[in-house]
A = this chain, B = another copy of it.
Amino acid sequence: MVWKRKDLVGLKGLSREEIGLILETAASFKEVLFREVKKVPTLRGWTIANLFFEPSTRTRVSFELAGKRLSADMVNVSASSSSVVKGETLLDTAKNLRALVCDIIVLRHSLAGACHLLASRLPDVGVINAGDGMNEHPTQALLDMFTIRERLGTLEGIKVLIVGDILHSRVARSNIWGLTKMGADVSVCGPVSLLPRGIEKVVKVYTDLDEAMKGKDVLMFLRIQRERQEAGLFPSLREYHRLYGLTEERLKRLATKVILMHPGPVNRGVEMVPAGVDGENSVILEQVTNGVAVRMAVLYLVSTVLRR
């Protein structure tokens, strides 16, 4: 199949074939990362802007390295910079980047739909969603899927449990759309206060982690934000850990082949005990590496459409 989109707004709208193509492409780029010269000339002369309205070291650096390894020129524009402070709208900022002859904009924004807005209003610029509010974070889910497939050989029929704050998580949403499309069997587990209403119509829902873990191939723990606790959505970090965290005890019960995932950064001792984060079941750092390969793939595929 041929890639036909100039943007990656989310996984909700992608077909199984499109997701498959991204994952295949990422596999070939991953090989580049372990060459002596980790660089290909694919996007030489292209300009990619990292437009981040929310701070994020790991996603920003991951895209920056993905672009540099494709030989693109990267430019970082962060929300603390002046135009945003001066009250310029998102669309004006993006139109200015387009006028500066940026080919692709990687956007992180606190509003759901920000990425869709830019993608639809800038017909000749590629727009990649690096997280928009509580909506989607498609490259995170793609790297998760890549990691699962690399470890377990397939996504078809794989039993994935996503644990934690499903309600506020764009990572969960993108994974639910993507994994389901690829034939995985997705379920979620978390406190009722952190589950979106109606989620049970989309995936199987658990509130008891011990029951939920049974028979699962993949446990994906989401990062818990302290501000949710302040908002009264869960009682204490200790209590959260006991009920929804990977405790020492739960870790011991884990089958060898089960893989542990986390989008990072981990609150050690809250979502997972350190022995889980650093143990043999953990693929957390593989996720990070695969993120670069997946982002190289997305930037490349989008460029093939823009180039035409």
Contact = CB atoms under 8 A, between A and B. Distances in A.
Nearest to A286: B99
Given A75-B64, A96-B285, A99-B288, A47 B38 contact: yes
Nearest to A226: B87
Contact of A99 (B54, B99, B289): B289
Contact of A77 (B39, B57, B87, B98): B57
A101 interface: yes
Contacts of A88: 264-266
A134 interface: no
The count of identical subunits is 3
B101 A289 contact: yes
A84 B265 CA distance: 9
A36 B33 CA distance: 25
Contact of A288 (B46, B49, B96): B96
A286 B99 CA distance: 7
Interface stretch (A18-26, A65-73, A200-208, A249-257): A65-73
17 contacts: A35-B45, A38-B101, A47-B68, A57-B81, A57-B83, A57-B84, A58-B100, A65-B75, A65-B102, A83-B264, A86-B265, A88-B266, A95-B285, A96-B285, A99-B286, A99-B287, A101-B289
